[in-house]
Structure 1
Amino acid sequence: MEYRKKTVVASVTGLTLEGMDIMFISFAMTMIIAEFHIDLATGGLISSVTNIGMLFGGIVFGILADKYGRVKVFTYTVLLFAIGTALTGLATSIEQVYVFRLIAGIGAGGEYGIGMALVAEAWPKNKQGRASSYVSVGAQYGVILAALISAVILPTLGWRALFFVGVIPVIFAFIVRRNLDESPEWLAAQKNKTAVKKKEKGKLLQLFETPRITFTTLTLIVMATVQIAGYNGLMIWLPSMLQQSQGLSVSSSALWTISTAVGMIIGMLTFGIFLDKFGTKRSFGLFLIASACAVFLYSYATGSVGVLLGGSIVGFFSNGMFAGYGALIGGLYPVQIRSTATNTIFNFGRAIGGFSPILVGFILQSYDMKVAMLYLAGLYCMSFLAMLTLKKGNDDQVNHAI
């Protein structure tokens, strides 16, 4: 039990720091654009570069974690992430910002899947949903923490000081290395000759080794992409949509963001319980359909109460599912490729889903909020149909825990 708690604490802290770092860019963007005299599109590339780094880091560090151990590689990802974040504060040109954000993204991309693999291997099957949800709320804690730190540092010390906070993960990495033992399941697999033989095949290729595994991998990539695309489309554009359609002030939009984040946290914790009790298809099915309905109906919300309450409900369902992907992906692949699978699949979703705000922006320019929300609702319906194709199988390579 003590080891289980340590894996959750380590993974939650890692995801909190990652969420905090990503939001630092959002809060500091205006100052960065002003200092380097760049346009909005050039500034927006900072996030794109970070996402590319996450995809690359997710694949590379996922493979390394499966080969050399979860805790050891997890520590390196946090250190790299901290270095990239701190160096961002020293950048003297926008090109240097891109390079340092790429480094930070590589570290952050590796951290997520490894942390989820640790949790999946430490907790029993009937509690993995809840454990995964505990970890997933870390990203929302990071958003809140970033808002508080930014409010204190930006007005007085400027945007560079904000990124010097990136040295904190170095301390965290040291603590993790000293107090967390390697995953017992991974250690046992290393002693298994069959596991060692599989390991030699190339972990990334094992995600596409047979038609069944390939189909499962592609299905999960679709679901992860929808999850990220829906989240980005909602959180980046909804405050602006509401300011235009409802005449909300910036302060009211901030209140909306807080209420939606609270709904997301409650949704994640609830989804974890549902996942353990009702299984994958029922839990994801319910939340995906509810997300589609909630998002579409939200375009008709009016008044302060309706907007705030509706935002909480949308956040509850649409991002509540985020809590389940660690348990879902981790349960579908054996220990030998678990970190590789989790990191590769979810970071592909991040990279592709990261373009959703561009499409939402185009829709808003050409149409209106209702059409944009219909697009987001359609994404959740697509993910629902993809989820239905996940089936139990007799494949030795994949443990289909559906």
Structure 2
Amino acid sequence: MSRTLDLVGEAVRGLRARPLRSALCAGGIALGMAAMVAVVAIPATTRQALLNQLGQDGNLLTVSSGNTIDNQPAPLPSQSPAMLRRIPGVQQLSPVAYQSGWIARRTPFVPVADTNGLAVIAVSADLTATLDLHVTHGAFLDAATSRYPAVVLGSGAARALGMSTAGPNRLVTLSTADGRRTVVATVLGILADAPLAPELDSAVLIGDRAAHTRLDAGGGPSRIYLRADPDKVGPVHALLAATTSPEDPGAVQVGRPSDLLAARLTAQNALNDLAFGLGAVALLVGGVGVANAMVVSVLERRSEIGLRRALGAGRGFVGGLILIESTLLCLSGALAGGIAGLAVTWVAAMSQAVAVQVPLLPVGLGLAASVLVGLIAGLYPALRAAQLAPAAALRIAG
């Protein structure tokens, strides 16, 4: 035990004698370890938030009927919302209607060709509850404001219009494609990204009553979002098409947005595996740097090694000294890299307002791999140092 402690103490003193080289060698290992921790922990944190969202939104269903010949959302029967509400298990329902032929512009002076394809959608005040939408600035439409020319911008629409705030002095021009009819609307609020309804991100939302009186909206909704009892999602899903359009249920498309999020999660896992592999390669490259530094260290310390051998140090002591030095380099670099990776993960989690998730198994494997890399990297230099003959070592020392 005392011999091992002596070796560790000598190894630490040897590393402290060359601080810059030791720091650079450990830095290569730290970079690889930080990459491994970050590419595992950050996706795990995001994945947990996504899984929580999947659990909350697994009962969200959508009903639509595809697009028309001119690539506009086709309307559903006007009686569809009332009929769908009668299905046992439907808890919430919100229809929306694309206003075909209407576009949104910052001012009437913006050419129609530069509208960025912002759709105008008539919505009801209960859409936020059905889709769990969040307003980043201002407020959403309510029973009162839905009657007046007021709009809420999707996140992408707000960026396209160059607006980051809402208020009485924030105005948007709604007009027909030919520019003959124009309605100036006040921007009440701006929505956060809606992953379950991305079509709303690039849209301008207006109250259904204002759309009827100001935009002459008519006909049925273009899409219906609904929440079902979590225990009755399957039976509700099976009845939606026939209930929405009894005459032509085949034309009705029933979707489940959470399935799309699950597919994204699967793709994300594949990309995470690739990123983890890149982190492993970075760790290996750091190990090569450690091996190179230890070889140079042996060449520079031949006189020291010669004196140790001449004073009675065995081959095992000299070889173990070099081996422990390389292992300490890799271990210290791995610990520093692990802390850096956790710090990056914490910052990423705070920016998304989610709890930090750190998979212990991959992190533990990374630490074990760093020790293994240190042993492998120091093996050849250790053997080379141990094979120095005492007589040759004395000549070098002299």
Short-chain TM bin:
under 0.3
TM-score where L is the length of structure 2: 0.20
**Higher Rg:** 2
Q: Which has the higher strand share?
A: 2
**Larger helix fraction of residues:** 1
Identify which of structures 1 and 2 has the higher relative contact order when contacts are C-alpha pairs closer than 8 Å and 6+ apart.
Answer: 2
- Normalising by structure 1, we get a TM-score of 0.20
